[in-house]
Structure 1
Amino acid sequence: MLPRFGRRAALAAAAAILLSQLPGVVHAQNFDRPVRIIVPYAPGGTSDILARLISPKLSAAIGQSVVVENKPGAAGNLGADAVAKATPDGTTLLLTDVGSVATAPSLFSNLTYNLEKDLAPVTMVMFGPYVLAVHESIPVKTVAELIAYAKANPGKLAVANSGVGGANHITAVVMQKELGIQFKHVPYKGGAAATRAVVAGESGALINGASATLPFVTNKQLVGLAVTGEHRVPSAPDLPTFKEAKLPGGDAGTWQGILVASGTPPAVIARLNTEIGKILESPEIKAKIAEQGGEVRAGTPDAMATWLKDATKRWGEVIREAGIKGE
């Protein structure tokens, strides 16, 4: 979603692909100190869950300890800034909802890092659908009832999100525009915090990643109404898709990916891309991600860069049209 990666990042991504195809080159690139995976949200969200699934496997693959460090705040920008300013040696990774990375340039005029120059893609990780759910006190059991309730109570239904300008926030903005309804948008420091707020009744509804939200639906702590994506989620087959429920935004969801500081050697990016790709394609990890409604989407750094460029343009138009400003 980035308008354009800087020259260094683009060259690193292209070189990583070439190097990854040369026998012995990738595996010759060793790590000489521990690796940190920075998650720019509070524990318990989709990014955090993925980081803790990947970290022990990556540790075994590279022969170094891999620790997960949560650094929430500023809609994910505190964690992104930490990685952007880290030593560019591949030992500090950013695992995040890359939708937030892509929307940041359109939301914040005072970013403390430059996305075009300071971050380089390693690999996409997964796509996870969003779940639309409500607290049990909200008198709705279907999408049609939710729409009717929102129309009868304009601006009163508090819809939690993982931060202003996040993809789930924008999905709710698109929904209210297309359906002619009005929500009260309430930002939290990550999807896990937003989910807990709705479970506690602090907010009334949310649109959030399936990995962090479905457990509360299946445990009857939240009332699930629908899921984004092309298919119903196996662990909650009764929930219709947004398309089936005639809701806009059905292609939205949480796209998770990994980035490093720009200037990281191409061989290091290639090694990380290869090892993480193997981890994601392992039957164990694929099954765990599928259980939570997600789909593995590992790929090349170049493919991720293209996705970021396209998404930045698309979501930026929505943000500007809606007049959304970051906080």
Structure 2
Amino acid sequence: MINIKSLFVGAASVSLIVAGNVALANEFQGPVRIVVPFAPGGTSDILARYIAPELSEAIGQPVIVENKAGAGGNIGADYVAKANPNGHTLLLSDLTALLAAPSVLDNVAYDIESDLSPVTMVSYSPYVLGMSQQHNFESFDDLVEYSRNNPGDIAVATSGVGANNHITTERLIQDLGLDWTVIAYRGGSDATRAVVSGESDMLLNGTTASLPFVLNDQMNALAVTGEERLEELPDTPTFRELGLPGELDGTYQGILVTAGSPPEVVERLQKELADILATEDLQAKIAQQGGQARPSETSAQLQEWMTEQMAELTEFIAGSDIKQ
């Protein structure tokens, strides 16, 4: 005779086990690493160090920031692509650098579309065109005039081959017909230090990393990207005011995870990071350096944005000299 009571007890036990497994899948079982594929002190690094303690508190595990610089961000990206797909290794990077890599580099050891999965956009920062104080240009027009009269004399520092500020620099060179010498460094912080020291003449870099140097009179700002002037630099015109193309827009930072990570963990990460980036504290920290927190509503939203951007970048790079 079938014991009905046993059936109900057995079913309840199975339900509890399934529920327990789902709950376990949403939990983090050890330290989480945020890999920054650039040198310390750049935009990605600053954002990672803002986020790490907040994420640690949210998930109840240590969150460690690791810098793995080189190859325009692709050494760090490759590290995350080949990590254990358990959702515990994250990549925080300039998204354009990642999306441009297949078109710029001959040997990219990972596939951004199959080896990395998007979690959330983090922020947008306009670019500041910062000049070394060895030059005394009073305006962007002065820089252009000097460049035309002295072809090849202006050295422009970038975060690496294929980084967004490299691509933006190349667009500017094409639009204005200038001859600038473009130098790739190991990240935005190295590029910024090169301009501050006078090793290079100028750079376009995100406000999060560059603005403090401008405000401390270590670089001169001639222009900014974005829709409007920065509150911190009210006398510095936008590129649009100067009649330059709207695509000169700035740096977009995002977080990705090793592909194949459990969907429940990725969903938890997306939710926790979106909540963190929505706090007044994080928004204020990013805003103080001229940026804007821009968490994605879903991972799919970031995926859609990345697909569109990759198509545009592939087309532009195919018609340019951007190549390592």
Q: Which residue of 1 aligns with 2:210?
A: 213
| Maintained 8 Å contact 1:229/1:250 | no
Segment of structure 1 superposing worse, 130-139 or 68-77: 130-139
Distance 1:248 1:154, change over 3 A: farther
Q: Which residue of 2 aligns with 1:47?
A: 44
Equivalent residue for 2:10? none
* Superimposed CA distance per residue, residues 185-208 of structure 1 (whole angstroms, 9 cap, x where no aligned partner): 011000010000000000001111
Given that 2:168 and 2:248 are in contact with CA atoms closer than 8 Å, whether structure 1 keeps it comes out as no
Question: What residue number does 1:62 align with?
Answer: 59
Residue-by-residue CA offset, 1:161-210 (whole Å, 9 max, x unaligned): 00011111111111111112111001100001000000000000111111
Which of 185, 189, 199 does residue 192 from structure 1 map onto? 189
Structure 1, unmatched stretches of 5+, are 1-24
Task: Indicate if the aligned counterparts of 1:27 and 1:271 stay in contact, CA closer than 8 A.
Answer: no
Which moved further from structure 2: 227-236 or 210-219? 227-236
Q: Contact 1:141–1:223 at 8 Å: present in 2 too? A: no
Give the deviation of 1:260 after TM superposition: 0.5
Deviation for aligned residue 1:116: 2.0
Query: Could you tell me which of 289, 292, 300 is aligned with 1:302?
Result: 300
Letter in 2 for 1:215: P
| Aligned partner letter, 1:216 | F
After the TM superposition, which residues 116-135 of structure 1 pair with which residues of structure 2 at under 5 Å, given as runs? 116-135=113-132
1:97 and 2:94 correspond: yes
Partner of 1:223: 220
Percentage identity across paired residues of the two chains = 51
The question of 1:323 aligning with 2:316 is answered no
**Which structure has the larger Rg over C-alpha atoms?**
2
Secondary structure at 1:322 match in 2:
coil
8 Å CA contact retained: 2:25, 2:262: no
Which residue matches 2:154?
Answer: 157
Is 2:25–2:265's contact at 8 Å kept on the other side of the alignment?
no
- The answer to whether structure 1 residue 79 and structure 2 residue 76 are counterparts is yes
Which amino acid in the other structure matches residue 301 of structure 1? S
1:181 — aligned with what? Answer: 178
Alpha-carbon contact 1:122-1:259 (below 8 Å) kept: yes
Question: In the superposition, relative to structure 1, how do residues 26 and 132 fare at CA in structure 2: closer, same or farther (>3 Å)?
Answer: farther
* Corresponding residue to 2:231 among 229, 234, 238: 234
Equivalent position of 1:110 in the other structure: 107
Of residues 30, 34, 37, the one that matches 2:31 is 34
CA displacement at 1:262 relative to structure 2: 0.5
Q: CA deviation at 1:114?
A: 1.5
Amino acid at match of 1:237: P
Cα distance in 2, alignment partners of residues 247 and 137 from structure 1: 25
| 1:83-132 deviation per Cα after TM superposition (whole angstroms, max 9, x unaligned) | 00000111100000011110011112311112221000000000001110
Q: Secondary structure at the match of 1:189?
A: coil
Q: Does the Cα contact within 8 Å between 2:40 and 2:67 map onto a contact in 1?
A: yes
Q: CA deviation at 1:48?
A: 0.3
Q: Does the CA contact (< 8 Å) of 1:132 and 1:206 recur in 2?
A: yes
For 1:314, the equivalent position in structure 2 comes to 312
CA offsets, 1:53-110, max 9 Å, x none?
Answer: 0000000000000010000001000000000000011110000001111001111231
| 1:251 CA displacement | 4.1
Tell me how large the CA RMSD over aligned residues is. 1.3
In 1, are the aligned partners of 2:85 and 2:261 still within 8 Å (CA)?
Answer: yes
Residue 140 of structure 1 aligns to a residue whose secondary structure is coil
Report deviation, 1:324: 1.6
- In structure 2, distance between residues paired with 1:324 and 1:159: 14
Provide the rounded CA distance (Å) in 1 between the counterparts of 2:310 and 2:23. 31
Query: Is the contact made by 1:167 and 1:252 (CA closer than 8 Å) also made in structure 2?
Result: no
Encode CA deviations 1:245-300: one digit per residue, 9 max, x unaligned. Answer: 22335542110000011101110010000000000000000011111111111011
Separation in structure 2 between the aligned mates of residue 145 and residue 222 of structure 1, nearest angstrom: 16
1:284 aligns with 2:281: yes
How many residue pairs get aligned? The number is 302
Per the alignment, residue 4 of structure 1 pairs with none
**Cα distance between partner residues in 1 of 2:165 and 2:249:** 8
Partner of residue 201, structure 2: 204
Kindly provide the amino acid, as one letter, of the partner of residue 273 in structure 2: I
SS in 1 for 2:319: helix
Structure 2 regions of 5+ residues with no counterpart?
Answer: 1-21
Aligned to 1:244: 241
